[in-house]
A and B are shown apart, each in its own frame.
Chain A
Amino acid sequence: MNYKVKTAVSAAALMLAAGAASAQELKFMCFSDGDDCAVIDGLLDGFEAENEGITVVMDKVPYQAILDSLPVQLAAGTGPDIAVVTDLGGLNEYYLDLSPYVDRPYWENSFGDILNWYRAGAQDDGIYGLHWQLTVTGPYINKTLFDQAGVAVPAEDASWDDWAAAAREVAEKTGTTFPMAMDRSGHRIAGPAISYGAKYFDDAGEPILVDDGFKGFVEKFVGWHEDGTMAKDVWAGRGGNSYQDASAEFINGELVYYFAGSWKVSQFDSEIGDLFDWQVVGSPCGEGGCTGMPGGSGVVGFKQTKHPEAVAKLIDYLAREEVYAQMSARTNNIPAHKGVAAAGVDYADASAPAAAALNAWGAQVAKLEAPAFQYQGYKGNRAMFNITVQRVTQAIVGELTVDEAMERAKGDLAEAIAETK
């Protein structure tokens, strides 16, 4: 082989090797009820343009895959590089700590205590996730039904009993199938329980789940199922810890009062349209406040990635104020980024009712009580949610009394804590 050919082959080999070394493909597992993944995917075009050699492959999966498959994949070491998750603290052991790669003061100023939701505990000060969708649980009402029934919408400080009475009256006068419904979820029932005085944790910060406040609300809740105030289809209609909502009933005008959360706005806006007027009303009040539960989803990187720096770069890009603001506006989400929230989000694409609803949800953030944040930030909260759903459902369908269900719930929690130690 002559000298020129040797040089050309060597140069080609070097180029190939360099190309292979610099090309970084990041697998991004995403779920969404709406078009959130598409919005992120669009925003990532800017990231890829800024970072030549890094490509992002978006894998849109059903929500159940995030709950069931992702943890198994991570445990087996075959997970993606990045994912959108909702079990924020529960998957902490797999998270990549972004703090060596990002500007810590910026992140702490922008996201504050929400960073704790992704941490393992009080001693952990890592930065793990970008909370990109802040959600708040709370109720919607079918305003048209209230108007038709001539029943006044209860005041902002109305209790659960006030709302139950009003919803029953509206349903009776308008011949509506269900006065009230609540998503079948341990997360959803937590806000009302906290309003009834549930603490979920003892003074030492250990989870307890069952206390007088919690039991008090469960008794009410079971009673409302027995007297027909609550739609039995939602909680009693399913088994295990599976999720069930009542969106279809609300959209079909079969439901007066629906306790769900801020993430439903886009769906209601597009599917209800001008069929009837709907509005967001504040969470009912009790001795523990008028609180819902914060929550939502966040983008996290996993430490099993081969490209930690690229993963951190990508998440840091999405956390930029201008990118985050675009993301909130285009997905109709409440921002968790303090700077974006302070500047206000221009929900330009949202209709007038949707924009009003999003602003109403934004106002609810200030009413969230401390136990709600603590519960959301607890890494074992998913176990507590599941226990709640299973045992409360058993009380509703009559398999157990409320007392028995509460005793079982305590035992289940003790076992869950022991098994995860």
Chain B
Amino acid sequence: MLSALNLIMRGIEIPFSFVQRKLGTRRQAWAFLLPNLLLFGTFSLFPILLNFIYALTGGDNIILSDRPFVGTGNFAGFMNCDNFLDVNSCERDFFWRAVWNTTWFVTLQVGIMVGFALLTAVILNRDIQARGFFRGVFFFPVMLSPVVVALVWKWVLQRNGILNAGLEAMGFESFNWLLDRTWAFGWSVFLSVWAHMGFYTLILLAGLQAIPRDVYEAAMMDRASPWRAFRRITLPLLAPTMLVVLVLALIKGVQTFDEVYAFTGGGPGSATTLIIQYIYETGFAGAPRLFGLASAASILLALVLVVLTLLQLWFNRRSVDG
């Protein structure tokens, strides 16, 4: 067994020794990085670069050389607004509807989801009966495909759905939940929270379990109330984990597409159209296919995500520095 292992290790050593002999110890690192750099360059860096170039072109031709250069025209179109709060005053009204919908969606979804995830994690961290079962229950929706999540809730909420059947059975009037702009938006937030909360609950639970028990025991000896212990011990010690959860949830929230698209199609009207749907429809599902405009919108979205990430790093550094 040992000799077989030795043989394998010797086998692995041969190319390594060869590279080291040819390039030297310092430059050897580049040889190891090369495969990953090639993959990253081909499938990430190059498409990003291409995206920037497309954003500066117009027309509906996918071949880059056949696309007219329009400079910053696509970006200027987005910014052509009399009043950014009144989307009807904007040249690109659908873009701004999607931007505002996404802003509201992310604010509500992240706020509600992180709040409930924290509450759930705190409860699941206690010594309750069937704790393992409940952890499974909360995590289960995370494993479902977004399309499945959307279809399940659509069956519940549609005109002839389970919710309306229940309401009618109890003597209430049925309601077309997905035809009302506010309700459709609210349910979109709800299903997104339902689908993703388990993941963040799990991260927070891990954070809670990393807090030493003796800190709580000391607080109990000082007769601190549970609420005070939560505020003065749990929250401060959980802050780094909370920060990770918040930023992850924010980034995921801004990127939301599939479940809401399958749930409402962005409707009624454009009430639940989020920014990724706008980019998808502008670039791929519309006619003509405005690849330049879609690329420009995706660059603006990337900028927002970069700002959010930098904000996270800044907060993180501040909390580490104390």
Pick the contact of A399: B62, B63, B270, B272 (CB < 8 A): B270
Q: Is the interface of A mostly helix, strand, loop or mixed?
A: helix
**Is A237 close to B, CB under 8 A?**
yes
A236/B281 contact (C-beta < 8 A), A242-B265, A397-B269, A420-B60 known: no
A181 to chain B, nearest CB (A): 13
**Is A416 close to B, CB under 8 A?**
yes
Chain A 203-242 per-residue mask, 1 if CB under 8 angstroms from chain B, else 0? 0000000000000000000000000000011001111111
Contact B268 A236 (CB under 8 A): yes
Contact B267 A239 (CB under 8 A): yes
| A residues contacting the other copy or chain, number (CB 8 A) | 36
Residues of A within 8 A of B88 (CB): 400, 404
A216 to chain B, nearest CB (A): 22
| Alpha-carbon distance A130/B61, docked complex (angstroms) | 26
A239/B286 contact (C-beta < 8 A), A75-B61, A404-B88 known: no
How extensive is the interface on chain B, given as a class? 20 to 34
Q: Determine the residue in chain B with the shortest Cβ distance to A252.
A: B160
A71/B289 contact (C-beta < 8 A), A239-B271, A394-B269 known: yes
A236/B269 contact (C-beta < 8 A), A75-B63, A419-B60 known: yes
B13 to chain A, nearest CB (A): 43
Chain A 384-400 per-residue mask, 1 if CB under 8 angstroms from chain B, else 0? 01100010011011111
Residues of A within 8 A of B269 (CB): 236, 239, 393-394, 396-399
B95 to chain A, nearest CB (A): 13
A75/B62 contact (C-beta < 8 A), A68-B285, A240-B273, A419-B288 known: yes
8 Å CB interface, B205-264 against A: 264
**Is B287 close to A, CB under 8 A?**
yes
Q: Tell which of B33-41, B134-142, B175-183, B192-200 binds the partner.
A: B175-183
Residues of B within 8 A of A179 (CB): none
**Is A104 close to B, CB under 8 A?**
no
Residues of B within 8 A of A72 (CB): 62, 284, 289
**Is B58 close to A, CB under 8 A?**
yes
Contact A386 B267 (CB under 8 A): no
A233 to chain B, nearest CB (A): 6
Contact A240 B281 (CB under 8 A): yes
Contact A68 B284 (CB under 8 A): yes
Contact B267 A420 (CB under 8 A): no
Contact A233 B285 (CB under 8 A): no
Contact B287 A383 (CB under 8 A): yes
Q: Determine the residue in chain A with the shortest Cβ distance to B280.
A: A240
| Alpha-carbon distance A390/B269, docked complex (angstroms) | 7
Pick the contact of B266: A76, A238, A386 (CB < 8 A): A238
Contact A233 B265 (CB under 8 A): no
| Alpha-carbon distance A400/B88, docked complex (angstroms) | 8
Residues of B within 8 A of A67 (CB): 285
**Is B298 close to A, CB under 8 A?**
no
Contact A239 B60 (CB under 8 A): no
Pick the contact of B290: A238, A244, A419 (CB < 8 A): A419
With contacts A238-B267, A240-B267 known, what are 14 further pairs, Cβ within 8 A?
A68-B284, A232-B179, A236-B179, A236-B267, A237-B267, A239-B267, A240-B265, A240-B273, A241-B281, A390-B94, A394-B270, A397-B267, A419-B288, A419-B290
Query: Which residues of B line the A interface, CB within 8 A?
Result: 58-63, 88, 93-94, 97, 159, 176, 178-179, 181, 264-273, 277, 281, 284-290
- Can you give 11 contacting A-B residue pairs, CB < 8 Å? A67-B285, A68-B284, A87-B287, A236-B268, A239-B265, A241-B286, A390-B94, A416-B287, A416-B288, A419-B59, A420-B288
